[in-house]
Amino acid sequence: MYLSREEESIYQGERGETLRRMMEILVALGDIYGAEKLVPVRSVQIAGVSYKNIGEAGLEWISDLQGQVVVPSILNPAGMDLCRWKEMGVEEEFALKQQQTIEAYRRLGVTIDCTCTPYQIYQGPTSLAGRGDHLAWSESSAVSYANSVIGARTNREGGPSALAAALVGKTALYGYHLDENRLPSHLVEVEADLRGSDYGALGFLVGRSVKDGVPFFRLKNQQPSGDELKALGAAMAASGSVALYYVENATPEPPAAWQPKETIRLGRKEIDEVYAKYPVAGADAVALGCPHCSGQELEKIAGLLQGKKVQKELWICTARKIAEAHPHLVATIEESGARVFCDTCMVVSPATERFSRMMTSSGKALAYLPGLAGVQAGLGSLEECIDVALGRRQ
Amino acid sequence: MEIKCHRIASGSARGQSLVTRDAISFLGNVDANTGMVVDPAHELFGQCIAGKVLIFPGGKGSTVGSYVIYQLKKRGLAPIAMINIRSEPIVAVGAIISGIPLVDRVEEEILQVKNGTLVEVDADLGLVRISEWID
């Protein structure tokens, strides 16, 4: 792999041991995946934040590092709301370890935004990602959104490789950074009117079937919203490992002409089968905001909850900056007895484990809850989820 | 005898070999507090990897495995060096952040080296030296 003179000097340790090891990570990954060289990244989103995932081993490593990030760097969701963890039912011992993890990242110059939707909070002049930009992002739904909807270029980074990119400001040029790996592998034709959680159900199905492929969707007379694309990509990244997809007339186009290796046809029947297989009945909690709710989604939820009282625990997960930007919506939601939790979600928090069956509108949570939290999951539309929380249906 | 290899993580070390044909998932297969292989389905079940030149095809499993390698190293329970047929990111990153010499791109014959053979790894020169080769 080619290294510039400056990169070579870092690799040889002339700028300290932390940077030497970070450069060694980038070079090792570049060698493994056949990269020709490194490229500068515009921003980094770092995995390895929830103490539930990294444990003592990860915390020790992050705490031992010296240095400062050189590009804008934010975090994946943590294992708890950093302020209201007690209300979530998180144990004190876990909370302490989680706070130590966050402080270790802060010390390295990382901005403490723990979210899977950085593109919702940094827009316009503060944007972390634009079309054609190289990034080193980690969270699978954020990676999918950046590649597919924004048209930026990122692989799905692990914790150490993302931190290496943040401290060096570069990543190895391979995988989804290259046009040749951004061509569709599957054509997915969908004959159904889709709305809201249907996109999560669709993604749940397609991810399972295409695995790490690049699906190209042809939807029937549909113009999905940003939130619907977010849900589609998140589900495919969880049930499969899709990091890039296309939707005809809704996302940036493939970089060159292509031929599908396989064509998949889906309709209402297949989507309804997902709802039928993961029914609403018997849920003891409801959670929305996987990926984190946008301002528009908070507005919709607040409208449905206004003046009502929930009968079951209802979590709304979002980014702290989104909640802070919409204090009135948060107040309306919380007056119903629901809770708006920031920095975390039902998938990464250990607090989820006390429930036995959780209802959600997210295809991603549907894929992850049983395996990661040991909680059964039911899928419904946003309105059905709210109805269950309000006790209007079982 | 001397074998050429490819450096993943720098450094050099010499020690007794511990060899397996099974890939290793450091999260799950190895106990970070003892260095023992604790998965009954693994060829190295019941063996301790501490201080050994660990020779295995490559890593697998959760990326948290990288941190487990780091934890082993901090507790003095890590292998002294590692040799892979083909390294993947979990073991590569784990070795680098822990400062454990790691090389790959060697012939699969190396998996026939007997346990306890004296093996020297020099990642920076891209060389593995084996005191006695198999028959």
Yes or no: say if A337 and A315 are a contact pair by the CB < 8 Å rule.
no
B80, amino acid identity: I
Helices (H), chain B: 26-29, 65-74, 89-98
Both ends of chain A: CA-CA distance in Å? Answer: 59
- CATH number, domain containing residue B111: 3.50.30.10
CB A393: neighbour CB atoms within 10 A?
11
Q: Which residues of A fall within a CB distance of 8 Å from B88?
A: 32
Q: ∠ CA B76-B78-B84 to the nearest 5 degrees?
A: 160
What are the two backbone dihedrals, phi and then psi, of residue A340, each rounded to the nearest 5 degrees?
-100, 110
Q: Which of B26, B60, B66 to mutate to test the interface with A (most CBs of A within 10 A)?
A: B66
Range of the domain at B46: 2-130
Interaxial angle between packed helices A268-277 and A197-210, expressed in degrees from 0 to 180 and rounded to the nearest 10: 90
* pLDDT at B62 (0 to 100): 78
Q: Which residues of B fall within a CB distance of 8 Å from A58?
A: 64, 67
Q: What is the pTM of this model?
A: 0.93
Q: Is residue B120 part of a domain?
A: yes
Task: Using a CB–CB cutoff of 8 Å, tell me whether A56 touches chain B.
Answer: yes
Q: Is residue B7 part of a domain?
A: yes
Which chain A residue has its CA at the smallest distance from B94's CA? A160
Q: Is residue B25 part of a domain?
A: yes
* pLDDT at B133 (0 to 100): 59
Mode of pairing for the β-strands spanning B12-19 and B118-122? antiparallel
Yes or no: say if B90 and B60 are a contact pair by the CB < 8 Å rule.
yes
Active-site annotation holds for B62: yes
Contact B97 A21 (CB under 8 A): yes
CB neighbour list of residue A174: distance below 8 Å, 6 or more residues apart = A29, A30, A33, A34, A35, A155
Q: Is residue B59 part of a domain?
A: yes
Q: Which residues of B fall within a CB distance of 8 Å from A55?
A: 64, 67
Q: Is residue B135 part of a domain?
A: no
For residue range A25-50, list pLDDT tens digits in order. 999 999 999 999 999 999 999 999 99
Task: Using a CB–CB cutoff of 8 Å, tell me whether A32 touches chain B.
Answer: yes
For residue range A206-250, list pLDDT tens digits in order. 999 999 999 999 999 889 999 999 999 999 999 999 999 999 999
CB A382: neighbour CB atoms within 10 A?
18
SS (H, E, C) B33-48: CCCEECCCCCCCCCCE
Task: Using a CB–CB cutoff of 8 Å, tell me whether B12 touches chain A.
Answer: no
Q: Which residues of A fall within a CB distance of 8 Å from B97?
A: 21, 25, 61, 160
Task: Using a CB–CB cutoff of 8 Å, tell me whether B89 touches chain A.
Answer: yes
Contact A21 B96 (CB under 8 A): yes
* Domain total in chain B: 1
Query: Beta-strand (E) ranges in chain B?
Result: 2-4, 6-9, 12-19, 53-56, 81-84, 102-104, 118-122, 127-130
Give the CA distances from residue A278 to residues A210, A292, A368, in Å, rounded to whole numbers and listed in that order: 21, 22, 13
A388, A390, A391, A393 alpha-carbon torsion, rounded to 10°:
-40
Contact B74 A161 (CB under 8 A): no
Domains of chain A (ranges, CATH numbers): 5-179 (3.30.499), 183-275 (3.40.1060), 278-389 (3.30.499.10)
For residue range A192-210, list pLDDT tens digits in order. 999 999 999 999 999 999 9
Q: Rounded distance, CA A91 to CA A95, Å?
A: 6
Q: Rounded distance, CA A250 to CA A242, Å?
A: 18
Question: Which structure tokens are listed for A87?
Answer: 């209300």
**pLDDT tier for residue B135 given thresholds of 50, 70 and 90:** very low
Q: Is residue B27 part of a domain?
A: yes
- Closest in A32, A48, A161 to B88, CB measured: A32
Question: Which structure tokens are listed for A293?
Answer: 């709710």
Mode of pairing for the β-strands spanning B127-130 and B118-122? antiparallel
Which chain B residue has its CA at the smallest distance from A58's CA? B67
The radius of gyration of chain B's CA atoms, rounded to the nearest angstrom, is 13
Q: How far is CA A37 from the centre of its chain?
A: 28
CB neighbour list of residue A308: distance below 8 Å, 6 or more residues apart = A336, A390
For residue range B40-69, list pLDDT tens digits in order. 999 999 999 999 999 999 998 878 889 999
Task: Using a CB–CB cutoff of 8 Å, tell me whether B8 touches chain A.
Answer: yes
**Mean per-residue pLDDT, A60-65:** 92
Helices (H), A186-251: 197-210, 226-239
Contact B93 A31 (CB under 8 A): no
Q: Which of B17, B62, B87, B131 is catalytic?
A: B62
More confident residue, A96 or A393: A96
Q: Which residues of A fall within a CB distance of 8 Å from B61?
A: none
Question: Which structure tokens are listed for A263?
Answer: 């064509």
* pLDDT at A393 (0 to 100): 81
